[in-house]
Amino acid sequence: MTRHEYAVLLGIAMLIGVLFAGSLVLFARRKSASALLQLLGSACLALAVIAYVSDTFRLFPALHWGSHYVGLGTAALGLILFPLGYLGQAVAKQSS
């Protein structure tokens, strides 16, 4: 990998970290189902980043293609759960 690719991976990891921290704060304050969905979605995205970072640096070479499946599955789940939680927050805010 080139330095540019490492920088992009680091930038994505930082953005997902901020997203996870914000979701954690939101869940600590509101404790609602939509906040939980956002937290679970951001946790899945963080796990996807961890899977891709571990694959990039070959931290678990015995997994072979397993890290790709973990990364893809958690990224897909995160991209489903986080927007559902956000939508739930928007609907709850508008109805109140």
Q: Which DSSP symbol is given to 94? A: H
| d(C-alpha 19, C-alpha 73), whole Å | 19
- 39: exposed, middle or buried (C-beta count within 10 Å: 0-12, 13-18, 19+)? buried
Closest CA to 93 of 48, 44, 32, 43: 32
Instruction: Provide the residue type at 74 as one letter.
Output: T
Residue 64 dihedral angles phi and psi, to the nearest 5°: 55, -110
Domain containing 66: what range? Answer: 3-95
pLDDT digits (tens, 9 = 90+) for 6-38: 888 889 989 999 999 999 999 999 999 999 999
Q: How many CB atoms lie within 10 A of CB 58?
A: 9
Other beta carbons within 10 angstroms of residue 87's beta carbon come to 13
Cα separation, 70 vs 54, whole angstroms = 11
Confidence of residue 40 (pLDDT cuts 50, 70, 90): very high
The model's pTM is 0.86
The structural domain count of the chain equals 1
